[in-house]
Amino acid sequence: MTKGQFPTDKFQQLQTPFYYYDTELLRKTLQTIQEEAGKHEGFVVHYAVKANANPLLLRIIRQAGFGADCVSGGEIEASLKAGFPASKIVYAGVGKSDWEINLGLDNDIFCFNVESIPELEVINELATKKDKVARVAFRLNPNVGAHTHANITTGLAENKFGIAMRDMMSVIEEATGMDHVKVVGLHFHIGSQILDMSDFEALCNRINELQNELERHRIIVEHINVGGGLGVDYQHPNRIPIPDFKAYFDTYAKKLKLRPGQTLHFELGRAVVAQCGSLITRTLYIKKGALKQFCIVDAGFTDLIRPALYQAYHKIENITSEEPVQVYDVVGPICESTDVFAKQIDLNGCRRGDLLAIRSAGAYGEIMASQYNCRRLPQGFTSDDI
């Protein structure tokens, strides 16, 4: 969505800040994923709910036939409420509480992605009490690095996620002795916002080695889950609104040696929803300091924390001004020096009341909003509503 395509007249009637989702772009993105994944037999895609759990978006994603990847009981509840079949829900996370495990068991979800032996023991214990058999996949830590921000890598030995590769056989052996768990797969995830396909190739190589070792022990699992991690182009949301799903799926098709009958599961989040969402905020004041000019807006890191937390870049546009470009620091009202969206950026001349669009904010934006400073949570609207 380019600057001129925002319905600014309708935006003027809404209280800012709010999230705006371009559902046409979301549907095009979902269609592209379906087409590219559909070229390869046995590819199954789940949407990573942690990226954005807005119920309007969840409904559209569910209607497209995707499964749901959840990391909390609340996400399982949101997915079920949105109509995702329990048979398409996978549940991961290093710290699953008893009520969350019981929720998954009661709804007969497709699979628990298990991250430790103590967790496996608890799942078996709770399943025994219900006389159920929990389907589990072991999340293994492949010690594969990713070319991304250090805070969003998950596949290194130093990270808290997954079971160490060296413990794989002992974990599988322990599980086979349990009456109320069934091992159905292996799960991996090496990080987020990955644009270098060589990272995914490295994961494929590690999985191939692992499968060869398992075969030597006459073990073949039904499902391989490689997580997600595909990034988006934050620099050019207008020019590249849809990620390169073809290269992503083709990499796995070419490099991963699946066994006959195995299905390959993906858990895409950011790549699905990031580009369709923008945070719309109103200019409160233009403040000229001794060294720079500030555009002070009514959104803060309570509404979009990524720039403060990860030093993340988001393209910002003044969607109600055609005045000559000036240089601004775009900052929010929160009583913290980190409440900065961008420094020294070019914007069409800003005045009080102008609307700014902070782009590529559909992932890890609204879902991470907080009420720090007793601020109201931002609302979310779609182009279907406005």
What's the pLDDT at 187? 94
Task: Indicate if the pLDDT at residue 150 is higher than 80.
Answer: no
| Spatial separation of the C-alpha atoms in residues 193 and 134, rounded to whole Å | 32
Q: Over range 199-215, report the average pLDDT.
A: 92
What's the pLDDT at 166? 78
**Polymer length in residues for the chain:** 386
The pairing of beta strand 355-358 with beta strand 277-288: antiparallel
φ, ψ (nearest 5 deg) of residue 154: -135, -5
| Spatial separation of the C-alpha atoms in residues 355 and 381, rounded to whole Å | 16
What's the pLDDT at 246? 98
Q: For 252-268, write each residue's pLDDT tens digit.
A: 999 999 999 999 999 99
What's the pLDDT at 174? 87
Task: Indicate if the pLDDT at residue 32 is higher than 90.
Answer: yes
Q: For 269-284, write each residue's pLDDT tens digit.
A: 999 999 999 999 999 9
- In single-letter form, the type of residue at position 195 comes to L
Domain boundaries, the chain: 3-16+275-382, 23-274
Task: Indicate if the pLDDT at residue 226 is higher than 70.
Answer: yes
Note the helical H segments in 134-234. Answer: 168-176, 197-216
Q: Over range 229-248, report the average pLDDT.
A: 97
Is the CATH number of domain 3-16+275-382 3.10.310.30? no
In this structure, the dihedral spanned by the alpha carbons of residues 86, 180, 162 and 169, taken in order and rounded to 10 degrees, is: -140
What's the pLDDT at 191? 87
The pairing of beta strand 111-114 with beta strand 43-48: unpaired
Q: For 301-325, write each residue's pLDDT tens digit.
A: 999 999 999 999 999 999 999 999 9
pLDDT band at 164 (very low <50, low <70, confident <90, very high): confident
Tell me the CA distances in angstroms from 314 to 228, 283, 307, 339, one per residue in order: 21, 17, 8, 14
Residue 241: asked if its preceding bond is cis (omega within 30°), the reply is no
For residue 345, which of 314, 308, 320, 303 has the smallest C-alpha distance?
Answer: 314
| Spatial separation of the C-alpha atoms in residues 172 and 217, rounded to whole Å | 11
CATH of domain 23-274: 3.20.20.10
What's the pLDDT at 143? 66
- In single-letter form, the type of residue at position 65 comes to G
Is pTM beyond 0.85? Reply is yes
SS3 content of the chain, % helix, strand, coil (to 5): 35, 25, 40
Q: Over range 99-115, report the average pLDDT.
A: 97
Task: Work out the number of other CB atoms within 10 angstroms of the CB of residue 316.
Answer: 22
Coil, strand or helix at 363: coil
| Spatial separation of the C-alpha atoms in residues 94 and 81, rounded to whole Å | 24
